[in-house]
C-alpha cells in the first residue's frame, strides 16, 4: 500500500472517530432488533410467488449499474444502483409493494437490508435476481409453478 493512500485512510479514520461511539451504538441496536425480529423469508420473494397480474402494481427496482440495466432488465423496472438506494430512498414509496433485484440477489440484498433498517417494510428482494427470474419464466413463473404442482399431484 503506498504511503499517500495509507495517510488518507488514517486521516479519514480520525475524522470519523468522534461519530463512532454513539452512532455505532444506535446503528448496532437497530440492526440487532431487525435481525432478531425478521424471519428469513419475510424480505425475500420468489418469482413464482407473484402472479402475472400483480406485477404492474409493484415498483420494481433494478439495483445493477446503468450499463447492465441498459443491456437487459425486467420490463417496467426502475434503475437505482444498489450503492445509491439509501441516497435516493425518497423516490421509493412506503405504501406500495417494492421488489428489488440485481443479477443473482446478493447486491440487492444489501440495498434491501439498508432500506428495511430505515423503515421500508414493503421492500422485498427477488430471490436469485434477474437470472432466476428468467430461468423460472419471468412474469409467467407463478403460472408455471401452479401447472407444475397440478401435474405433480395428478401423477
Q: What is the reported pLDDT for 14?
A: 41
| Cβ atoms of 101 and 78 closer than 8 Å | no
pLDDT tens for the 155 residues of the chain, in order: 444 444 434 433 444 444 455 566 776 676 666 555 555 456 889 999 999 999 999 999 999 999 999 999 999 999 999 999 999 999 999 999 999 999 998 899 999 999 988 989 899 999 999 999 999 999 999 999 999 889 898 87
What count of other Cβ atoms lies within 10 Å of the Cβ of residue 135? 11
* C-alpha torsion angle, residues 40, 45, 50, 56 (rounded to 10): 130
E-strand spans in the chain? 44-45, 59-62, 78-79, 98-101, 123-126
| Cβ atoms of 45 and 125 closer than 8 Å | yes
Q: What is the reported pLDDT for 25?
A: 75
Taking the alpha carbons at both ends of the chain, their separation in whole angstroms is 63
| Cβ atoms of 123 and 43 closer than 8 Å | yes
pTM of the model: 0.75
Q: What is the reported pLDDT for 100?
A: 97
Q: What is the reported pLDDT for 5?
A: 42
Q: What is the reported pLDDT for 35?
A: 57
Q: What is the reported pLDDT for 37?
A: 52
Amino acid at each position: 500500500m503506498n504511503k499517500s493512500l495509507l495517510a488518507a485512510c488514517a486521516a479519514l479514520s480520525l475524522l470519523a472517530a468522534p461519530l463512532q461511539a454513539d452512532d455505532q451504538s444506535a446503528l448496532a441496536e437497530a440492526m440487532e432488533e431487525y435481525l432478531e425480529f425478521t424471519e428469513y423469508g419475510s424480505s425475500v420473494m420468489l418469482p413464482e410467488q407473484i402472479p402475472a397480474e400483480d406485477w404492474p402494481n409493484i415498483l420494481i427496482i433494478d439495483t445493477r449499474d446503468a450499463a447492465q440495466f441498459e443491456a437487459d432488465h425486467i420490463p417496467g423496472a426502475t434503475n437505482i444502483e444498489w450503492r445509491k438506494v439509501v441516497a435516493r430512498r425518497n423516490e421509493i414509496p412506503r405504501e406500495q409493494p417494492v421488489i428489488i433485484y440485481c443479477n443473482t440477489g446478493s447486491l440487492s440484498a444489501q440495498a434491501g437490508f439498508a432500506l428495511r433498517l430505515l423503515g421500508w417494510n414493503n421492500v422485498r428482494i427477488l430471490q436469485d435476481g434477474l437470472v432466476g427470474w428468467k430461468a423460472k419464466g419471468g412474469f409467467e413463473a407463478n403460472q408455471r409453478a401452479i401447472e407444475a404442482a397440478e401435474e405433480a399431484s395428478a401423477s
